[in-house]
Amino acid sequence: MCLATVVVMSEPHIDPAGNTQAFRAFAQRNNEQEAAPPKKSYALPAVGISVGVLVLALVVYLLLS
């Protein structure tokens, strides 16, 4: 009769609830991330203005030609 042995692999993720110090560091890190103000992206307004200027230029060109 053959018996197979199963080797348990170590878990790479450390559970923050495993000890108090790790949990406090985890909770504090999450609070700091939530408290940080969101970064504003100026890409969308810049693209919108650029498209608006191009459309306006096209309309003026078509009206003058």
Q: How many CA atoms, within 13 angstroms, populate the side-chain half-sphere of residue 43? A: 2
Higher-confidence residue of 23 and 64: namely: 64
Q: How many residues does the chain have?
A: 65
Structure tokens belonging to residue 55 = 């459309």
Residue 1 has pLDDT above 60, yes or no: no
Are 52 and 46 spatial neighbours (Cβ–Cβ below 8 Å)? no
30 within domain boundaries: yes
Mean pLDDT of the chain: 77
| Residue 49 lies in domain | 19-64
31 within domain boundaries: yes
pLDDT score of 42: 83
The count of structural domains within the chain is 1
24 within domain boundaries: yes
2 within domain boundaries: no
Q: Which of 14, 16, 34 is nearest to 26 (CA)?
A: 16
pLDDT score of 18: 67
Q: Is the pTM of this model over 0.75?
A: no
**How many angstroms separate the CA atoms of 52 and 45, rounded?**
10
Average pLDDT over residues 19-48: 76
